[in-house]
Chains A and B, each alone.
Chain A
Amino acid sequence: MIENRRTQIIQNSIIHLIFIIFSLICIIPLVVIASISFSNEGNLNTYGYTLIPKVFTISAYKFVFGNPGQIISAYWISIARTVVGTFLSLFVISLLAFPMSRSDFKFRKSLSFYVFFTMLFNGGLVPWYILITKYLDMKNTFFVLFAPFLVIPWFVLLLRSFFKQIPMSLYESAKIDGASEYTVYYRILLPLAKPALATVGLFICLNYWNDWWLPLLYIDVDRLVPLPAMLSRMMSNITYLTTQTTNTFMTIDVSNLPKESARMAMCLLAAGPMLFIFPFFQKYFVRGLTAGSLKG
């Protein structure tokens, strides 16, 4: 018995050791980014990047915010596309998922197939790109920053599985009282499904906030560039500059370029909002993940 207890303790310590190491690996990259953003440029050049800044300074942030225009507009675009996109998307896919969750809806099966099929097969980048730029003429519009991601099949199926848990009898009793499907959706489903909508909404929100794909493809003008895309542009600028300065043998060394700390400050500003809110909503995330992975 004592022997057993000892192995138990050893085993638990090993587990915690592994988990603590992995936890550190998860956090350290962000700590390094933060540390660089709070360091001054000179120290970075002499001491390299460190986990704790040698001299704590907010000059990088001053620089970023003192140079408004770009970053402020990027923040606005990011916020605007996330808010507009999330609400529109939630509205459209809840309208879709509601009938899909109803056993008395005649086209339920064919509709599910219609949605599900897009997960199995897709046309790929080239036709999608040509369609949006040539035929829909959406290049460099605010619209293109959210429209193509409005209906993501995975989120539809997730929402449908949540809606299925709401008992049909609630709808029926309302309809006996003469309510239309629209009233049922608005008065019964939406209030009851608030946690589900919050869960899926959070996923959609994260998706829009972190997205660089749409702006990378479809936005060329500065005034419509959201945060992650702005970071992405700065990155290709570094590469561009280094390939220019060293022509034959390429060594990536940006130490002579200024504003490394400002870049990392922007990184933190881009990642910040999501990292800040997510621990509060973690419960919802986990619920969404587990519901989504169940069949049905």
Chain B
Amino acid sequence: MKILVKQSKYTFTSNLQMLIMVAPAVIILFIFNYIPMAGIIIAFKDFRANLGFIKSPWVGFKNFEFFFKSQDAWRITRNTIGYNAAFIILGLIISIAFALMLNEIKSKKTLKFYQTVFFFPYFLSWVVVGYALYAFLNMEHGVLNTVLRWFGLEGKSWYTNYKYWPGILISVNLWKTIGYFSVIYYAGLMGIDKQLFEAARIDGANKLQIIMKISIPMISPLIVLLVILQIGRIFYADFGLFYYLPRNIGILYGATDVIDTYVFRALRVTGNIGMASAANFYQSIMGFCLVLVSNLIVKKINNDYALF
């Protein structure tokens, strides 16, 4: 009896101590993450800086009316989802192909060399990447135009023509993220039991069959997990990519403006808080719905793969 009392008292103090330990992080999350969640209802208000958040008058759906009636809504939605879909699909194909090829390399040193180099772009800030791209695409001195001139072609004015930009943005994003994803998938491949491959080889399976019947199915939980995480964020664009690469040039907005850059501009540059908050609300809610839906679909297919 005495031991029992002591035991429960002991778990009580221990739990209390642990609660105290988590307190700072819980408070920080509350301030920077949970309060803004409640703050999305600002989209239904006519926010005025001098009145503050609480006292600003309600305006119902007026901000949304303005936002959706403007052509911007369609453009930024199309760009955000279109680019992200391209990143997900192409990124998946290329990084799995890379992982499978890495898996074929036997020499440890070569392997490490490739991994290190592929990781390189991942460590660069988008600002720096923006500068590097500029060195390539600059009209007069850019590397790309110099190369074009070698072949007797006319140099192109990359920063004034938006039709080039979908290609540029997709390639640069792939360039930056392929190393990251292929290393993750490669680690997944490394985790597969080697005996499976042995057995298949003895049974006379060729390489393609081994890849399709063993390698890919074995890492599919990982693939599904990463793809859901990406789909859940399909309404969120990588701000740096779309802001620093096209250098915020207005003439390119048709191909480069995404929800994030739009909200940023409305908030910081044009000061149109109504539009900004409407787009912001739209993004948060749609993003959340997509996470729930994609998780639900995965749950239907295979319960084990679901996130929650």
Contacts and interface: CB of A to CB of B under 8 A. Distances in A.
- Pair from one complex: yes
Interface of A: 11-12, 15, 18-19, 22-23, 25-27, 29-30, 32-33, 36, 44-45, 47-51, 92-93, 95-96, 98-100, 102, 104-107, 111, 114-116, 118, 120-131, 134-136, 147-148, 150-151, 153, 156, 175, 180-182, 185, 206, 209-213, 217, 228-229, 231-232, 235-236, 238-239, 249-255, 263-264, 267, 270-271, 274-275, 278-279, 282, 285-286, 289-290, 293, 295
A50 B144 CA distance: 10
Contacts of B114: 19, 23
B32 A30 contact: no
B143 A32 contact: yes
B52 interface: yes
Contacts of A19: 101, 114
Given A123-B36, A127-B38, A175-B14, 12 more contacts: A12-B105, A51-B143, A92-B24, A93-B25, A96-B24, A123-B284, A127-B35, A127-B280, A130-B53, A206-B123, A267-B131, A290-B183
Contacts of B251: 250
A120 B233 CA distance: 9
27 contacts: A22-B178, A27-B117, A29-B135, A29-B136, A32-B143, A92-B24, A105-B18, A116-B308, A122-B284, A127-B37, A128-B39, A150-B25, A182-B17, A209-B125, A229-B127, A231-B125, A239-B248, A250-B250, A253-B138, A254-B138, A255-B140, A274-B123, A282-B119, A289-B180, A293-B184, A293-B226, A295-B221
B184 A228 contact: no
B115 interface: yes
A26 B125 contact: no
Interface string B94-119: 00001001001100000010111111
A233 B129 CA distance: 15
Interface string B178-192: 111001100110000
A125 B21 contact: no
A252 B34 contact: no
Sort A-B residue pairs by CB-CB distance and give the 7 closest, nearest first. A127-B39, A123-B36, A96-B25, A29-B132, A181-B17, A48-B141, A210-B125
B293 to A, nearest CB: 12
Determine chain B's interface SS by DSSP, over half rule: helix
Interface in B125-182: 125-133, 135-136, 138-143, 145-146, 157, 159-160, 175, 178-180
A130 B49 CA distance: 9
Contacts of B267: 125-126, 129
A107 B67 CA distance: 42
B197 interface: no
Given A180-B17, A212-B240, A48 B140 contact: yes
Contacts of A238: 247
Given A23-B114, A26-B121, A250-B251, A123 B38 contact: yes
B120 interface: yes
Contacts, number: 295
Determine chain A's interface SS by DSSP, over half rule: helix
Contacts of B115: 282, 286
Q: Which of B29, B187, B240, B248 lies at the interface centre, i.e. has the most chain A CB atoms within 10 A of its CB?
A: B29
Nearest to B276: A126
A295 B15 contact: no
B37 A99 contact: no
Given A99-B22, A107-B19, A111-B22, A271 B117 contact: no
Contacts of A211: 125
B222 interface: yes
A114 B26 contact: yes
Given A105-B18, A125-B263, A271 B125 contact: yes
A261 B175 CA distance: 25
Contact of B117 (A23, A93, A95): A23
Contact of B120 (A30, A93, A104, A210): A30
A32 B132 contact: yes
A4 to B, nearest CB: 10
B141 A44 contact: yes
Nearest to B143: A49
A27 B39 contact: no
B231 to A, nearest CB: 12
Contacts of B200: none
Given A124-B263, A130-B47, A212-B126, A95 B22 contact: yes
A270 B127 contact: yes
A126 B273 contact: yes
Contacts of B17: 180-182
Given A120-B288, A124-B263, A267-B131, A151 B143 contact: no
Given A26-B121, A114-B29, A255-B141, A36 B135 contact: yes
A126 B248 CA distance: 20
Nearest to B264: A125
B33 interface: yes
B131 A126 contact: no
